[in-house]
């Protein structure tokens, strides 16, 4: 029907979500304070902030690994109560199963759903080709480099066709050159599929480069301090985008927000 913004139901709604947890020494830590957020389908949301700001907490709750202490999270209108195939998760570590070949790893999601062998084989081949691993389908994951394992993990998530893709610092462990290449590949895949993506990073440049929307979070208690739309050719630009003045300006704005939120607690103590 029609696809105006106000007609489309949000892909994700986070309503008044607070998360506290107990440390081993019994102290209560407020990981996330009263956060409310709506994300439209097809948005590429980057969450950036210093370590310990609760960005992984948001991700864990979206994925259904942990429950909010209060508030609620809805994906596609229904309440999140646990992990599910509608939300694909790309972790910082590849988390591939070492007893399966690369191909079998990518086939795993469809296989768990009981897809016929021919169908999941075709899916695996398509997505492994997309991430450039078609030469390595019959290898074991531990025979691949870290960057290739990470691409395999991304193929595994894409082959499962989730509504939303959650990525928790997926390129954090990669070297700079591989990371840039993966960023470009990820954007190309997102342009083709237009999935809703949540992407967590502590790298400001990565956030501004990838996202259509950047959320800056501050630590203790974790909360969103800046919600910035990023419209640099709607993600159509290539790597040369990094040197555009608008890009640099946005990057500085995000970095400034992080520093401001970071300095405040220190100032309060002093």
Partner 1 sequence: MSTTVAAEAVTRSPTASATSPRRRRRGPGSLAVRLGVFAALLLLWWAVTAAGLVEPLFLPGPAAVWHAFVRANTCHPISAGVERVVCGEQNYFLWEHLLASLQRIAAGVSAAVVVGIALGFLMGTVRPVATVVEPYLNFLRSLPPLGYIGLLIVWFGIGDASKTWLLFLAAFPPVAMATIAGVRGIRATRIHAVQSLGASRWQVLRHVVLPSSLPAIVDGVRIAVGFAWTTVVAAELNNGIPGIGGLAYIAGTQLQTPLVIACVIVIGLAAIALDALIRGVGDLLVPWHGKA
**Where on the chain is the footprint of partner 1 (CB under 8 A)?**
63-65, 82-85, 87-89, 91, 93, 95-99, 108-109, 112-113, 135-136, 139-148, 153, 156-157, 160
Smallest gap from Cβ 113 to partner 1, in A, equals 6
> E strand or H helix at 196, and its extent?
strand 196-201
**Based on CB atoms, which residue is closest to partner 1, 47 or 216?**
47
Smallest gap from Cβ 86 to partner 1, in A, equals 9
Q: Count CB neighbours of 138 within 10 A.
A: 10
Smallest gap from Cβ 192 to partner 1, in A, equals 21
**Based on CB atoms, which residue is closest to partner 1, 90 or 226?**
90
Question: What one-character-per-residue DSSP string does 160-229 give?
Answer: T--SEEEEESTTTTS-HHHHHHHHHHHHHHHHHH--EEEEEES-HHHHHHH-SEEEEEETTTTEEEEEEE
Measured distance CA(207)–CA(40) in Å, rounded: 18
**Based on CB atoms, which residue is closest to partner 1, 12 or 224?**
12
- Closest by CA to 64, choosing from 83, 41, 38, is 83
**Based on CB atoms, which residue is closest to partner 1, 89 or 204?**
89
Smallest gap from Cβ 72 to partner 1, in A, equals 20
**Based on CB atoms, which residue is closest to partner 1, 64 or 221?**
64
Smallest gap from Cβ 108 to partner 1, in A, equals 6
Smallest gap from Cβ 57 to partner 1, in A, equals 14
**Based on CB atoms, which residue is closest to partner 1, 8 or 145?**
145
- CB of 185 closer than 8 Å to CB of 193: no
Measured distance CA(74)–CA(186) in Å, rounded: 25
Measured distance CA(157)–CA(152) in Å, rounded: 9
Smallest gap from Cβ 43 to partner 1, in A, equals 20
β-pairing verdict for 196-201 and 164-168: parallel
**Based on CB atoms, which residue is closest to partner 1, 66 or 202?**
66
Give me Rg for the CA atoms of the chain. Answer: 19
- CB of 158 closer than 8 Å to CB of 189: yes
Q: How many C-alpha atoms does 88 have within 13 Å on its Cβ side?
A: 22
């Amino acid at each position: 029907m029609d696809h105006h913004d106000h007609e489309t139901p949000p892909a994700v709604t986070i309503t008044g979500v607070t998360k506290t947890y107990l440390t081993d020494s019994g102290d209560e830590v407020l990981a996330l304070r009263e956060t409310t957020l709506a994300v439209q389908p097809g948005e590429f949301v980057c969450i950036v902030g210093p370590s310990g700001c609760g960005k992984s907490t948001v991700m864990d709750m979206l994925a259904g690994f942990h429950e909010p202490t209060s508030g609620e999270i809805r994906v596609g209108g229904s309440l999140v109560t646990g992990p599910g195939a509608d939300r694909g998760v790309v972790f910082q570590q590849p988390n591939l199963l070492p007893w399966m070949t690369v191909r079998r790893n990518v086939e795993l999601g469809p296989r768990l759903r009981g897809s016929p062998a021919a169908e999941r084989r075709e899916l695996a081949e398509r997505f492994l080709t997309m991430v450039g691993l078609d030469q390595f389908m019959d290898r074991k994951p531990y025979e691949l480099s870290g960057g290739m394992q990470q691409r395999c993990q991304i193929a595994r998530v894409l082959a499962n066709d989730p509504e939303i893709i959650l990525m928790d610092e997926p390129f954090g462990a990669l070297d700079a050159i591989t990371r840039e290449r993966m960023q470009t590949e990820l954007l190309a895949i997102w342009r083709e599929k237009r999935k809703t993506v949540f992407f967590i990073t502590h790298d400001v440049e990565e956030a501004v480069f990838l996202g259509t929307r950047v959320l800056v979070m501050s630590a203790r208690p974790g909360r969103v301090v800046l919600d910035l739309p990023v419209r640099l050719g709607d993600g159509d630009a290539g790597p040369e985008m990094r040197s555009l003045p608008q890009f640099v300006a946005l990057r500085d704005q995000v970095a400034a927000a992080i520093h401001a939120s970071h300095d405040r607690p220190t100032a309060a103590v002093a």
